[in-house]
Amino acid sequence: MGLYQSLYFMSLAGGMAGLLSWALSNVICSFIPISDAADFVSPALLGCLIGAFTVSFADRWAGIRVSAQWVFLGALTGLVAGTFGAITNIPIRATLVEQQSTLARTITWMLVGSFVGLGLGLRWVRTNPARMAHAFTGGLCGGAVGGLLFATVGHAIPDFSDALGYILVGAGICFGVAFAPILLRQGLLQFVSSGDPRAQSKLGRARKQWELQEGDIYVIGAKSPNSGETRYGRDMAIWIPDTAIAGRHARLFVKEGRYYLERHPEIRGSAGVARYVLRVRGKSVSSTYELKDNDDIVIGRTTLRFLTRKKAA
């Protein structure tokens, strides 16, 4: 799946989360005799569902098994973030008068989106704290746009304004969280071709791409999709189903705007060099190698292409 395809599916997941949170909020609030209950229940549910859906999508997109443990953690993180956003918004709702309801609604979802984005960004806290800022910014912008549409769309279609509003807010938050890393990426790794039919079918058909960001460490290998590891792990996984690739074959990392490729420690010995192919520009990589724009990387029977941000745009 390409990067921009992922934006579409992330937005779709966010829209589904918004629709479900609207429906569940109506059911739950019907049993709670408090007029403002929806102001707390709705953001909490939206954050919970977005957290669960985005973790599921991220793991599915990475080609690894979706783990119930990490889906639950994502849901819990989103729930806490959404609730915290709603609580933080209490003084804003108390300050703004009725005539400023559009502004109040926009600020409400902007805060919820920013906290949900920050919560989702915690998955990268060990590897790249900058990604937390990206997710926070994306959630804030997505929540602001979604909230503004939420507040204004009711004048056009009052019968469906709430349901559509939640869909727009959910889609906006997820789009923002997914788009911020793409917008701020420094480079790109593209799938070119593979001699392994599985890799060619899975990655070639989807025109697979991976964005590269400062501070991240990307482990490239053929780990089983049932390994249970997720993007909450210490390293970003680039999984390629090629039988000629080791479970952990190579590492790619970005440091001070420069890109480096090296063999994974598990295959650095002479036996690993002899058995597992890792070449750039026709030369075998045995130590840390600095990548240049448009370099082709041959790993196992698969070819990847590295592009800098200028060429990847």
**Among 184, 181, 145, 141, residue whose Cα is nearest residue 165:** 145
| pLDDT tens-digit readout, 200-257 | 998 888 778 887 877 778 889 987 544 444 444 445 678 898 999 998 899 998 877 7
The burial of 287, by beta-carbon neighbours within 10 Å (0-12 exposed, 13-18 middle, 19 or more buried), is given as exposed
Helices (H), 2-67: 3-29, 37-62
Work out the pLDDT band at 177, boundaries 50, 70, 90: confident
pTM beyond 0.85: the answer is no
pLDDT at 150 over 60: yes
C-alpha distances (whole Å) from 228 to each of 68, 167, 220, 225 are 10, 31, 16, 7
Looking at every residue in the chain, the average pLDDT score rounds to 79
Residue 7: pLDDT band with limits 50, 70, 90: confident
Read off the pLDDT band of 168 (50, 70, 90).
Answer: confident
Alpha carbon distance 210, 284 (integer Å): 23
State pLDDT tens for residues 280-306: 988 999 889 999 999 999 999 999 999
Give first-to-last CA distance, the chain, whole Å. 17
Kindly indicate the confidence band of residue 110, based on its pLDDT and cuts at 50, 70 and 90. Answer: confident
Pairwise CA distance, residues 283 & 222, whole Å: 22
Confidence (pLDDT) at 234: 45
Query: What pLDDT shows up at residue 313?
Result: 44
Quick one: pLDDT at residue 226?
46
Domains defined along the chain, listed by start: 3-183 (no CATH), 187-312 (2.60.200.20)
What average pLDDT does range 264-272 have in this prediction? Answer: 87
